[in-house]
Chain A
Amino acid sequence: MRDYVGQLGRQTVERLNRYADQSALFYRILRQIIVNPRAGRRLRLRIVVEQIYFTAVEALWIVIPISLLLGSMMILQFAGISAQHDLGRITVALLIREFGPLVTALVVILRSATAVTIETGYMKVLREIEALELQGVDPLDILYVPRMIGITVSLFCLITIFCITSVLGGYAIAWALTTLPLQNFLAQIGKAIEGLDIAMVALKALFFGVGITVISLHYGLAVQRGITEVPVATSRGAVACLFYCLAVNFALFAAFFL
């Protein structure tokens, strides 16, 4: 019993330490974004563009097919089970507000968050971060800040693309392949979507982007001794990102809709 309580206590302390470290990292990155020092501004911008290219542009070929498949499948399901007048509202509530941000976040976690953890872990172990510091280059400026801006902007763009493609593309596929009644579907979507839905999507992109970046960077930086720690950190980081996104998703839902 004593061992169990001791283990529980240690795990709780470790977890609290981890959250404190992540909060401190978030604070440092945020302060650096606000201060925006002149040194390295152009380099930072270039790395932000590189990050957006990797996280958003190169992920399009994954996000678009997923959004089309999911959109057409869900529209067909909804058309089958709901009355015509509910179709627009259900699509907005589930596809745009819930599944769009979550599925996109999952793609970003699988592609970019894992890459960020691996890259940061390797840079830490191979002393590349120290190499930057020995040149007077602040890693915050050219590693952490560009990752956060790049991933958050990319997430917002990808969620928007996901929502538009899943609704329009899904509708087109359903219209072309079935005889289900989908009259006035787009008009219903237009009527059902509200400012709050758009704000919710933007908020989720912001919270997911910031959280995914901080968590993946933190797990990468936590690597201490050797390269063999990197895969473990990557796996743990990805799982932590997923739980974070689910928790934020629920918290935002509870805050605005309960």
Chain B
Amino acid sequence: MAIIELRDYAHRPTERGKGLEKFSFTLSPGDAYSLHADRIDDAHLFMRALATLEPPEKGSYLFNGEELNFSRRRRLLSVRRRIGYLGTDAALIGNRTLRTNLLLGRYYHENNLNLTLGDDVLSLCRTLGIEEKLDLRPAQVASEDARAAIIVREMTKGAEVFLVEQAFIALARAAAEMYIEMIRKMIDAGVPCIYYAGLTQYDRLFKKRDIYIRDGVVSVV
């Protein structure tokens, strides 16, 4: 069964984009797509639509077969939690340390403030070089470290789907290569992934199939 299914989905144009004309799309376990768009804004809108951050103007969104009601905000949160989304504008909470940012979801859902980071999270932090900076706030670390913390947060939240959007723009080369390896492992493990690289050399890293957006028309090849 498809994890995400968009049926006759359409979205009005954004300020600089063409929007998304009516299309249908499914994302199932094991899928890996490379996204190509003639406008960055349309690619961004497509990714945000999949992350449930843009309510459809027309059509419907099904997650694990259940149609989402975008006016029931609290129900949407449990879906958003199961989608790993590394957008270009993904953020950390500015007035909390990187450690608290990584633990915030668990503090909330487990209703316990005495939690510590798990070994898997610490290992990822070590790999991406932020282990020593976990007690600093986002403004006190370099942008690549903040980006690395976002990657750790999204990769360790147990997402069923992973959406990656120009993920390497703020990463040092070594960290980017490690990150590529992590995504590759995830795809090999069957976690569906959509990847938008923009114009970088990473364009064809993971693709099994392609999604094209031209003048707001979405097509899957």
Is B80 part of the contact surface with A, judged by Cβ < 8 Å?
yes
Question: With an 8 A cutoff between CB atoms, is B141 at the interface?
Answer: no
Contact of B77 with A137 in the complex, beta carbons under 8 Å = yes
**CB-contact partner of A142 in B76, B81, B108, under 8 A:** B108
- Of B35-43, B91-99, B197-205, B213-221, the segment with at least 4 beta carbons within 8 Å of chain A is B91-99
Of the candidates A122, A130, A134, A135, which one forms a contact with B108 in the assembled complex, judged by CB atoms under 8 Å apart?
Answer: A135
Interface residues of B in 87-124 (CB under 8 A from A): 87, 89-95, 104-105, 107-109, 111-113
Q: CB distance A39 to B91 under 8 Å? A: no
Residue in B93, B109, B157 whose beta carbon sits within 8 Å of that of A132 in the complex: B93
Those of B54-103 within 8 Å (CB) of chain A: 73-74, 76-78, 80-81, 83, 85, 87, 89-95
Q: Tell whether A2 is near chain B: CB-to-CB under 8 Å.
A: no
A127–B90 touching, CB < 8 Å: yes
Q: Which of B130-181 contact A (CB under 8 A)?
A: 153-154, 157
B74–A138 touching, CB < 8 Å: yes
Instruction: Chain A residues near B89: list those with CB within 8 A.
Output: 126-127
CA distance A127 to B153 in the complex (A): 15
Measured CB to CB, the closest approach of chain A to B15, in angstroms, equals 9
Cβ contacts A131-152/B at 8 Å (1 or 0 each): 1111111100110000000000
The 8 Å CB contact of B91, one of A40, A131, A137, is A131
Stretch from A41-49, A84-92, A102-110, A181-189 contacting the other chain: A41-49
Decide: A131 and B93 in contact? CB cutoff 8 A: yes
Structural contact, A133 and B77, CB atoms closer than 8 A: yes
Select B107's contact among A40, A119, A123, A130, beta carbons within 8 Å: A40
Which single residue of chain A is at the shortest CB-CB distance from B89?
A127
A138 touching B77, Cβ below 8 Å: yes
Contact with B along A31-56 (1 / 0, CB 8 A): 00000001111110010000000000
Q: Does A128 contact B (CB under 8 A)?
A: yes
Q: Are B94 and A126 in contact (CB under 8 A)?
A: yes
Chain A contact-residue range equals: 20 to 34
Complex contacts, B53 vs chain A, CB 8 Å: 130, 133
Q: A40-B108, A41-B111, A42-B112 are in contact. Are A133 and B80 (CB under 8 A)?
A: yes
Q: How far is the CA of A136 from the CA of B78 in the complex (A)?
A: 5
CA distance A1 to B129 in the complex (A): 66
B161 → A minimal CB distance (Å): 12
Among A123, A133, A134, the one with the most B-chain Cβ atoms within 10 Å of its Cβ is: A134
If the complex has contacts A43-B107, A43-B108, A130-B53, are A135 and B91 also in contact, measured as CB distance less than 8 A? no
A residues whose Cβ falls under 8 Å from a Cβ of B: 38-43, 46, 119, 122-123, 126-128, 130-138, 141-142
Q: List 11 A-B contacts (CB under 8 A).
A: A40-B111, A43-B104, A43-B107, A43-B108, A128-B93, A134-B80, A134-B85, A134-B90, A137-B104, A137-B105, A142-B108
Closest 5 CB pairs of A and B: A136-B81, A135-B105, A40-B108, A127-B91, A137-B108
Seen from chain B, the residues whose Cβ lies within 8 Å of a Cβ on chain A are 51, 53, 73-74, 76-78, 80-81, 83, 85, 87, 89-95, 104-105, 107-109, 111-113, 153-154, 157
